[in-house]
Amino acid sequence: MTRDLKDYRPNVGIVVINPDGKVWIGHRFGMSGDYAWQFPQGGVDAGEDFEAAAKRELYEETGLSTIEMFGCTSDWIIYDFPPEVLAQKKIGRNFKGQKQIWYFCRFTGPDSEVNLQAHGEQEFDRWEWCDLDQVIERVVHFKRDSYRTVIAELKTLLGRV
């Protein structure tokens, strides 16, 4: 299946790994249920460098800035919005889904650096360090295939296939 990339919102995602090899996940603010967890992600402003966008989004959503970037996905990772998301004016407006470049970084600061209210619009209501192999079962259904691709690329990059 060929997708027209202009139908997808440009976006960045960020996978943050701590010194113990666990990844940062946040529970979406205002959402209930066990499947409302995700990695930080967000839109790219017009003319904005993608790595700069990833660092900005990471800080706005988590307060984290003590990081070392070490890679990104080799191409766009794409997912479609389901009908219930398309019906929401804020998220689904004008796009079929999202196309994302994912960045991988190591967190080298203290956990006290996490500030879920670092930016005016709060994205997460709680967070935790999670085993990479447990992330998929906690993510909303329509993002799972894209997360599988992201995690596979990360594992290859880390040499943990």
Mean pLDDT of 130-139: 96
The residue that leads in pLDDT, 85 or 67, is 67
Per-domain residue ranges for the chain? 5-158
Q: Are 50 and 99 within 8 A, CB to CB? A: no
Residue 18 three-state SS: coil
Determine which helix (DSSP H) or strand (DSSP E) holds 22, and give its type and residue range.
none
Instruction: Give the residue-averaged pLDDT of 18-24.
Output: 97
Say yes or no to pLDDT of 161 above 60. Answer: no
Question: Cα 122 vs. chain centroid, distance in angstroms?
Answer: 15
Question: What mean pLDDT is reported for the chain?
Answer: 92
Q: What is the per-residue pLDDT across 82-110, written as a single tens digit (0 to 9) for each?
A: 988 888 766 656 889 999 999 999 999 99
CB 23 within 8 A of CB 113: no
Buried b (16+ CB within 10 A) or exposed e, 117-131: ebbeeebbeebeeee
153: confidence class by pLDDT, cuts 50, 70, 90: very high
Torsion sign across C-alpha atoms 132, 43, 65, 126: negative
For the 5-158 domain, the top CATH level (class) is: alpha beta
Cβ-contact 5, 116 below 8 angstroms: no
**Closest of 48, 28, 52 to residue 39, by C-alpha:** 28
60, two tokens: 């706005």
- Residue 81 is predicted with a pLDDT of 92
Task: Look at the pTM and tell me if it is higher than 0.75.
Answer: yes
Residue 48's identity, in one-letter code, is E
Let me know how long the chain is: 161
